[in-house]
Amino acid sequence: MNWLALWSAVAFLFGSLITLTQSDRVALLECEAKSSCLAHVDEAVLEVIREHMYNTSDACDNFWDYACGSWTEGPYYDHVDTLGAMTNHYADKLKVIVEILKTAAEDPEDNTLMVNKIWRYYESCSASGNYYLEVAEYLKELPMHQVWGEQFQWHSMFNKTSFAEHNIDWLTLMATLRPYGLNGIFFKESMGFASNDSWKNVLEIKIPTARKRFRSKYKILEILEEYHFEAYASSEELWLLAEDLYAFDKDMVELYRGYEETGKNVKSLTMEELLNADTLLPWQKYFDLLIGKHLDPRLVSLEIAGKLDYFTNLHEQLQQKDGQIVFWYIIVNFCQHLLDIKPLITDRNCLLHTNVMFPLGLNYIYDRFLYKNRQKDEKVLQDMLSGLKGQFAVYVEENKFQLSNEEIGYLKAKVSAIQLQIGNLPSHIPHLNEYYSPIELSPTNFYANHMKMLKFRFLQQHLSVWNPKRLYLLPEDYYVNDDISTPRNAPYFIHPRNLLMIPMVFLQLPFYHHSQNPIFHHSLVGWIMAHELSHGFDSHGLAFDANGNYSPLGYQISLKSSFVHTLECLTKSSATLSLNERMADVNGLQLVWDLYTQNFPQNSTDLSLDLSSEEIFFLNLAQFFCGSLPPTTAHDRDDVRVKETLRNLKEFLHIFGCEKAARNFSKTSCDIWRN
Q: Is residue 349 part of a domain?
A: no
* Residues with Cβ within 8 Å of residue 434, at least 6 apart in sequence: none
Q: Is residue 294 part of a domain?
A: yes
Select from 665, 664, 484 the least CA-distant residue to 590: 665
Query: Using omega within 30 degrees of 0 as the cis cutoff, is the peptide bond preceding 510 cis?
Result: yes
Select from 87, 39, 61, 17 the least CA-distant residue to 506: 87
Evaluate whether 312 touches 274 at the Cβ level (below 8 Å). no
CA–CA gap between residue 167 and residue 158 (Å, rounded): 14
Least confident of 10-24, 252-266, 320-334, 550-564: 10-24
Select from 357, 442, 438 the least CA-distant residue to 128: 442
**Residues 69 and 211 placed together within one structural domain of the fold:** no
Give the Cα-Cα-Cα angle 651, 657, 660 (nearest 5 degrees).
90
| pLDDT score for 20 | 39
Q: Is residue 636 part of a domain?
A: yes
**Residues 532 and 631 placed together within one structural domain of the fold:** yes
Q: Is the pTM for the entire model greater than 0.85?
A: yes
CA–CA gap between residue 215 and residue 238 (Å, rounded): 17
Query: If you average pLDDT over residues 21-28, what whole number do you get?
Result: 63
| pLDDT score for 17 | 46
Beta strand 499-502 with 419-422 is parallel
Give the CATH number, domain containing residue 146: 1.10.1380.10
CA–CA gap between residue 584 and residue 107 (Å, rounded): 44
CA–CA gap between residue 53 and residue 70 (Å, rounded): 6
Q: What percent of the chain has pLDDT over 70?
A: 93
**Residues 289 and 400 placed together within one structural domain of the fold:** no
CA–CA gap between residue 671 and residue 593 (Å, rounded): 13
Q: Does residue 79 have a pLDDT over 50?
A: yes
**Residues 195 and 53 placed together within one structural domain of the fold:** no
Last residue of a domain, one of 341, 372, 406: 341
**Residues 544 and 620 placed together within one structural domain of the fold:** yes
DSSP string, 134-203: -GGGGGGGSTHHHHH-TT--GGGGGSHHHHHHHT--HHHHHHHHGGGT---BSBEEEEEEETTEEEEEEE
User: Which is more confident, 650 or 476?
Assistant: 650
Query: If you average pLDDT over residues 475-496, what whole number do you get?
Result: 85
| pLDDT score for 476 | 66
Evaluate whether 616 touches 523 at the Cβ level (below 8 Å). yes
Q: What percent of the chain has pLDDT over 90?
A: 73
Evaluate whether 80 touches 630 at the Cβ level (below 8 Å). yes
Give the CATH number, domain containing residue 539: 3.40.390.10
CA–CA gap between residue 203 and residue 193 (Å, rounded): 8
Residue 160 exposure: Cα atoms within 13 Å on the Cβ side: 5
Evaluate whether 45 touches 520 at the Cβ level (below 8 Å). yes
Evaluate whether 527 touches 592 at the Cβ level (below 8 Å). yes
Q: At what angle do helices 374-398 and 579-599 cross, to 10 degrees?
A: 100
Evaluate whether 260 touches 210 at the Cβ level (below 8 Å). yes
Neighbours of 271 (CB within 10 A): 21
CA–CA gap between residue 217 and residue 241 (Å, rounded): 9
172-217 per-position pLDDT tens digit: 999 999 999 999 999 999 999 999 999 999 999 999 999 999 999 9
CA–CA gap between residue 71 and residue 628 (Å, rounded): 9
Q: Does residue 166 have a pLDDT over 70?
A: yes
**Residues 197 and 68 placed together within one structural domain of the fold:** no
**Residues 52 and 164 placed together within one structural domain of the fold:** no
C-alpha 36: how far from chain center: 36
Q: Is residue 215 part of a domain?
A: yes
Least confident of 261-270, 335-344, 636-645: 261-270
At residue 492, the 3 state secondary structure works out as strand
Strand partners, 99: none
Evaluate whether 386 touches 427 at the Cβ level (below 8 Å). no
**Residues 172 and 44 placed together within one structural domain of the fold:** no
CA–CA gap between residue 252 and residue 74 (Å, rounded): 46
**Residues 335 and 395 placed together within one structural domain of the fold:** no
| pLDDT score for 233 | 95
pLDDT range class, residue 24, cuts 50, 70, 90:
low
Query: If you average pLDDT over residues 55-68, what whole number do you get?
Result: 91
Last residue of a domain, one of 303, 319, 341: 341
pLDDT range class, residue 250, cuts 50, 70, 90:
very high
Select from 477, 352, 413, 346 the least CA-distant residue to 84: 352
Query: If you average pLDDT over residues 70-87, what whole number do you get?
Result: 72
**Residues 211 and 315 placed together within one structural domain of the fold:** yes
**Residues 46 and 173 placed together within one structural domain of the fold:** no
Q: Each residue of 581-607: b (16+ CB within 10 Å) or e?
A: bbbbbbbbbbbbbbbbbeebeeeebee
Q: Is residue 47 part of a domain?
A: yes
427-480 per-position pLDDT tens digit: 888 889 999 999 999 999 999 999 999 999 999 999 888 777 777 877 667 777
**Residues 211 and 73 placed together within one structural domain of the fold:** no
Q: Is residue 234 part of a domain?
A: yes
pLDDT range class, residue 60, cuts 50, 70, 90:
very high
What is the 3-class SS of 263-293, one letter each residue? Answer: CCCEEEEEHHHHHHCCCCCCHHHHHHHHHCC
Instruction: Determine the length of the chain.
Output: 675
| pLDDT score for 108 | 54
Q: Does residue 107 have a pLDDT over 60?
A: no
Q: Is residue 528 part of a domain?
A: yes
| pLDDT score for 633 | 76
Burial class (CB in 10 A: 0-12, 13-18, 19+), 647: buried
Domain enclosing residue 610, as ranges: 37-77+391-415+517-674
Query: If you average pLDDT over residues 315-329, what whole number do you get?
Result: 96
- The number of distinct structural domains making up the chain is 2
Neighbours of 220 (CB within 10 A): 27
* Averaged pLDDT score across all residues of the chain: 90
| pLDDT score for 16 | 45
Last residue of a domain, one of 322, 341, 360: 341
Evaluate whether 221 touches 234 at the Cβ level (below 8 Å). no
Q: Does residue 4 have a pLDDT over 50?
A: no
C-alpha 228: how far from chain center: 32
| pLDDT score for 28 | 85
pLDDT range class, residue 278, cuts 50, 70, 90:
confident
Strand partners, 493: 500
Burial class (CB in 10 A: 0-12, 13-18, 19+), 183: middle
Q: Is residue 639 part of a domain?
A: yes
